[in-house]
Amino acid sequence: MNTKTHIALVSIPIYSHLRSILEFSKRLVHLHQDIHVTCIIPTTGSICSNTKALVESLPSSIDYMFLPPPNLDDLPQDFHPALLVLVATSRSMQSIDDALKKIHSRSSLVAIVCDGLITQVLYLSKKLNISSFIYFPSNMMLLSLVLYSPKMDETMTCEYRDLLEPLELPGCVPIDGKDLPEPLQDRSGEEYKVFIEGNKRFYLADGVLVNSFIDMEAETIRVLHEEGNKIPYAYAIGPFIQKGSSRRDESCLRWLDEQEDNSVLYISFGSGGALSQDQLNELAWGLELSGQKFIWVLRSPSKFGFVNDLSLANEDPLQFIPSGFLERTKDQGLVVPYWAPQIEILSHSAIGGFISHCGWNSTLESVVNGVPMITWPLFAEQKMNAAILSKGLKVAVRPKVNEKGIVEREEVAMVIKNIMVGEEGKGIRQRMKELKDAADNAVKQDGSSTRTLAELVLKWKSLGVAQCN
């Protein structure tokens, strides 16, 4: 007789979100071997190679199923990729409902955990009379914004980008209105309406599982917990990061082996980040001007700020960098088209800094490896993450942008030298080391995140006992 406690997870078809929730799943079943997980994954089309590699590496105690893509033929060819995901997940709700009912009929579920961007699932869990939780792959500061934004919507009248003073979310570092996520930048737009409606649904959840840890956001966690039953309980159970890559670029790692400790700057904009052509040019010139060693994961420019599926890339990104750049910097740096083994790179002793888009996965990978950061946010909540890192934790520097939103080459060179060899960089390096140690401690056997996860599992098991009775 199967006595395992069964949990269903519902992800969204965004690689970074899926990767995070699967890392949570793997740690969950590793620490608690009497837990069984089934992950339901909506799709927007063919399944990319990166996603296939993720799910094929899962342990036997984690099942997964890909749902058939919904009909999206009515959408325009140049439909924004972020909106495409929201439409696809919305149109997949019947398939998700059918999958949950089927799983529940075979092996009674004790809880459903859904990604924070697909909270419509919470209604389905209520129909099945099953406890529901949200997996939040970002941080407590963004969760605070999500939970308090419906109240902000009722009490504030101006556009948030026009606020004269920084916004002070409870327990968080003050943040400029222009640094709030894109859906909040136009309160008359459809994205804003969808954002607020989705945030209101958070209050249907029995709890929110957050990929963060106490020492990283202690004050925010304290304030959220003081709210008691007014808001869903926030479980700080991270950091969850990918342990290693299934693919290796030996030439890239061999090049790093030849460099001095802490001498190389790593530049990458996540699993899908991309710069405009003008910004790509300025970054290239800034790298060259800085004189610092670098390894740059280069992608073709994009009008959206990100690309969809790296496995489908068919352009040579090297054609977009300034003429002669590779020849002039052949002894200074290494340019890697499209993809590099980020986990192995960030853990390499030669790496001394990281220019990052500040996606939360990349942020945590940098923290876990103790690598100081230069924040270069592109979209989503990344500007908020940059504020946490630079103004709150002070483990990063943030370059200034001009009136066109471009970081100019002189600014690029200055912040690079600052973080790699400057006096400010020394202090940042020490603070990042302390944060790394805290992250290590959080996931130890008696660490704060491990204990919090154990409390959550105990709750789930008690729900299973109640079902049997």
Residues designated as active site: 17, 115
> 420: how many CB neighbours lie within 10 A of its CB?
22
3-state SS string over the chain?
A: CCCCEEEEEECCCCHHHHHHHHHHHHHHHHHCCCEEEEEEECCCCCCCHHHHHHHHCCCCCEEEEECCCCCCCCCCCCCCHHHHHHHHHHHCHHHHHHHHHHHHHHCCEEEEEEECCCCCHHHHHHHCCCEEEEEECCCHHHHHHHHHHHHHHHHCCCCHHHCCCCECCCCCCCECHHHCCHHHHCCCCHHHHHHHHHHHHHHHCCCEEECCCCCCCHHHHHHHHHCHHHCCCEEECCCCCCCCCCCCCHHHHHHHHCCCCCCEEEEECCCCECCCHHHHHHHHHHHHHHCCEEEEEECCCCCCCECCCHHHCCCCHHHHCCCCHHHHCCCCEEEEECCCCHHHHHCCCCEEEEEECCCHHHHHHHHHCCCCEEECCCCCCHHHHHHHHHHHCCCEECCCCCCCCCCCHHHHHHHHHHHHHCHHHHHHHHHHHHHHHHHHHHCCCCCHHHHHHHHHHHHHHHHHHHHHC
pLDDT in tens, 393-412: 999 999 999 999 999 999 99
Residue 81, pLDDT score: 73
pTM here is 0.94
> 266: how many CB neighbours lie within 10 A of its CB?
24
Residue 337, pLDDT score: 93
Residue 303, pLDDT score: 61
Distances (CA, A) of 170 to 173, 174, 217, 308, 393: 9, 9, 12, 35, 17
Residue 412, pLDDT score: 98
Question: Rounded distance, CA 366 to CA 368, Å?
Answer: 6
Residue 133, pLDDT score: 98
Average pLDDT per run of 10 along the chain, which is 469 residues long?
84 93 97 96 90 91 96 83 84 97 94 97 96 97 97 95 94 95 92 94 98 97 95 97 69 95 96 90 98 96 58 74 97 94 96 97 98 96 96 97 96 98 96 98 97 97 72
Question: Rounded distance, CA 261 to CA 270, Å?
Answer: 24
Residue 250, pLDDT score: 78
pLDDT in tens, 150-162: 999 999 999 999 9
Domains parsed from the chain with CATH numbers: 5-238+445-468 (3.40.50.2000), 250-440 (3.40.50.2000)
Question: Rounded distance, CA 421 to CA 372, Å?
Answer: 12
Residue 311, pLDDT score: 41
